[in-house]
Structure 1
Amino acid sequence: MADGKDRVRSRVEDWLQVEVIEPMNDFHNPRQEWRRLTSEVFGTFLLVIVAAGGGMMSQAYPGQITRAAAVVAPGLMVMGIILFMGKISGAHLNPAVTLAFSMRGDFPWRRVPGYIIAQLIGATLASLVLVWIIGVSAKYGSNYPASAATSLQAFWMEALLTLGLVSVILGTASGAQNIGVLGAIGVGGYIALAGLWGSPISGTSMNPARTFGPDLASLDFTAYWVYLAGPLLGAVVAVLLAYVLRGAGGGLSGSAAAQGDIDTEVEHPGKK
Structure 2
Amino acid sequence: MPWNNEFGDDTEGGKKTESSDVDSPPETIVQIIQKIIAEVIGTFFVIFMGCGSVVVNHVYGSVTFPGVCVVWGLIVMVMVYSVGHISGAHFNPAVTVTFAIFRHFPYKQVPLYIVAQLLGSLLASGTLSLVFSVTDEAYFGTIPVGPDIRSFVTEIIISFLLMFVISGVATDNRAIGELAGIAVGMTIMLNVFVAGPVSGASMNPARSLGPAIVMRKFKGIWVYIVGPPIGTILGALCYNLIRFTDKPLREITKTASFLKSKN
Residue 50 of structure 2 corresponds to which residue in structure 1? 51
Residue 223 of structure 2 corresponds to which residue in structure 1? 226
Amino acid at match of 1:72: V
Amino acid at match of 2:142: N
Q: Please list every run of 5 or more consecutive structure 2 residues that lacks an aligned counterpart in the other structure.
A: 1-25, 248-263
Q: SS of the counterpart of 1:213?
A: helix
Cα contact 1:165–1:191 (8 A) shared by 2:
yes
Amino acid at match of 1:82: V
Amino acid at match of 2:90: H
Cα contact 1:173–1:179 (8 A) shared by 2:
no
Deviation at 1:29, TM superposition (A): 5.6
State how 1:246-265 maps to structure 2 within 5 Å. Answer: 246=243
Percent of matched pairs sharing the same residue:
35
Amino acid at match of 1:84: S
State how 1:208-227 maps to structure 2 within 5 Å. Answer: 208-227=205-224
Deviation at 1:89, TM superposition (A): 0.2
Q: SS of the counterpart of 2:171?
A: coil
Residue 5 of structure 1 corresponds to which residue in structure 2? none
Cα contact 1:37–1:114 (8 A) shared by 2:
yes
Cα contact 1:39–1:88 (8 A) shared by 2:
yes
Rounded Cα–Cα distance in structure 2 between residues aligned with 1:232 and 1:29: 27
Residue 87 of structure 2 corresponds to which residue in structure 1? 89
Deviation at 1:176, TM superposition (A): 4.0
Residue 36 of structure 1 corresponds to which residue in structure 2? 35
Q: Deviations over 1:15-61 (max 9, x none)?
A: xxxxxxxxxxxxx9622211000000000000001221122222322
Amino acid at match of 1:177: R
State how 1:163-242 maps to structure 2 within 5 Å. Answer: 163-242=160-239
TM-score (norm 2): 0.79
Residue 159 of structure 1 corresponds to which residue in structure 2? 156
Q: Deviations over 1:122-174 (max 9, x none)?
A: 0010010011111215871001112xx21100000000000000110111012
Q: Please list every run of 5 or more consecutive structure 1 residues that lacks an aligned counterpart in the other structure.
A: 1-27, 252-272
Deviation at 1:228, TM superposition (A): 1.0
Structure 1 residues 205 and 60, CA gap change in structure 2 (3 angstroms): same
Rounded Cα–Cα distance in structure 2 between residues aligned with 1:56 and 1:46: 15
Q: 1:127 aligned to 2:125?
A: yes
Rounded Cα–Cα distance in structure 2 between residues aligned with 1:172 and 1:123: 25
Q: SS of the counterpart of 1:51?
A: helix
Q: 1:143 aligned to 2:116?
A: no
Q: Deviations over 1:175-219 (max 9, x none)?
A: 342422310010001111111122111111101001111001111
Rounded Cα–Cα distance in structure 2 between residues aligned with 1:235 and 1:247: 19
Cα contact 1:155–1:226 (8 A) shared by 2:
yes
Rounded Cα–Cα distance in structure 2 between residues aligned with 1:29 and 1:173: 21
List, as ranges, runs of 4+ consecutive aligned residues in structure 1 with deviation greater than 4 Å.
none
- Point out the structure with max Rg over C-alpha: 1
Q: SS of the counterpart of 2:29?
A: coil
Rounded Cα–Cα distance in structure 1 between residues aligned with 2:90 and 2:182: 15
Rounded Cα–Cα distance in structure 2 between residues aligned with 1:126 and 1:102: 26
Cα contact 1:56–1:137 (8 A) shared by 2:
no
Cα contact 1:83–1:181 (8 A) shared by 2:
no
Q: Deviations over 1:68-121 (max 9, x none)?
A: 111220110010101111000000000111011111101000000000010000
More off after superposition, 167-176 vs 74-83? 167-176
Cα contact 1:131–1:137 (8 A) shared by 2:
no
Residue 25 of structure 1 corresponds to which residue in structure 2? none
More off after superposition, 222-231 vs 176-185? 176-185
Amino acid at match of 2:223: V
Deviation at 1:247, TM superposition (A): 5.6
